[in-house]
Amino acid sequence: EAQVLAHSKLEIAEIAPSPTGEQIAFETGPVSHREENPADYEMFVVAPHGGDARQVTHNQGLESHLTWSKEGKRIYFEVHAGGGSIEGPYRDVQGRLYVMDAATGAFTRLGAAFEGSWDDFTVTSDDGVLACGLTGTEEHLYRVEKAKFETVGNDPGTYAKVNAARDGQGLIFTHSTINSPTQVYFADERTGLPGAKAITAFNPVFAEQAQVEWEPYKWTSKDGTSVEGV
């Protein structure tokens, strides 16, 4: 008894129902999976009972990770590094975060003051944004508000796959370092990341092997950009 809600000549690559049940957002992509035309990647909104889908983006970027605000009026999304730009002609930039009015299509860039690359994010139960940001060889966790940001998780290594509870303060994420494999962590409160506990213990043999010594190294590129490696 499946019912068709919307048609598209392109692949429907991502589907995000609003928490209020009033709208469904989806992102299209090329059926071939070849990234050849930015116009293949656009966001649409359709009513839950079906009908004509309304296109809400018209840009040169590849939107992803569609996430509704709690009241179902705004859509948060990201454009990954190398995924074009929604702010003008196509050009590859570092990962960026946005929030868009679902009715008008007007969007605002979030965390614009961050000099690194935004990689993943989650919307908390109070409509706040927590995002993983990469600078140099480290990827930390930040609270993002409009153009500003502040660190909430800065243990050495890489934070990723962050996901906040729909209700309450709970937070899960993955973390890894050069000498420790990726594990899933749980924090009772979004402000209590230093006390987060690992809830997985994958690859225990890793700790039995020789632990490599390493250190970060910085140099300056020809155009004056600071570059970091290991």
The pLDDT value recorded for residue 194 is 81
Q: Is the pLDDT of residue 21 over 80?
A: yes
Given a cut of 90, is residue 181 above it in pLDDT?
A: yes
Average pLDDT of the chain is: 94
pLDDT given for residue 212 in this prediction = 86
User: Span 86-113, mean pLDDT?
Assistant: 96
Per-residue confidence at 38, pLDDT binned at 50, 70, 90?
very high
Q: Are 142 and 150 in contact (CB under 8 A)?
A: yes
150 pLDDT above the threshold of 90:
yes
Q: Rounded to whole angstroms, how far apart are CA atoms 53 and 39?
A: 16
Lowest-confidence region among 35-44, 60-69, 147-156, 186-195: 186-195
Please tell me the distance from the alpha carbon of residue 57 to that of residue 14, in angstroms, as a whole number. 15
Q: Is the pLDDT of residue 192 over 80?
A: no
Please provide the distance, in angstroms rounded to a whole number, between the alpha carbons at the two ends of the chain: 56
Residue with tokens 């690992």: 198
The answer on pLDDT for 113 being more than 80 is yes
Contact 79, 61 (CB under 8 A): yes
Per-residue model confidence (pLDDT) at position 207: 84
Please compute the mean of the pLDDT values over residues 103-113 and round it to a whole number. 96
- Sheet containing 96-101: order of strands: 60-68, 74-85, 96-101, 107-110
The model carries a pTM of 0.92
Pair 164, 130: CB distance under 8 Å: yes
Please tell me the number of Cα atoms within 13 Å of 90 on its side-chain side. 13
User: Which residues lie across from 219 on neighbouring strands?
Assistant: 227
| pLDDT in the model for residue 10 | 96
Residue 229 tokens read as: 């490696």
pLDDT tens figures, 52-89: 999 999 999 999 999 999 999 999 999 999 999 999 99
Rg of the chain in Å (alpha carbons) = 20
pLDDT, average across residues 127-156: 94
Mean pLDDT, rounded, for 25-32: 97
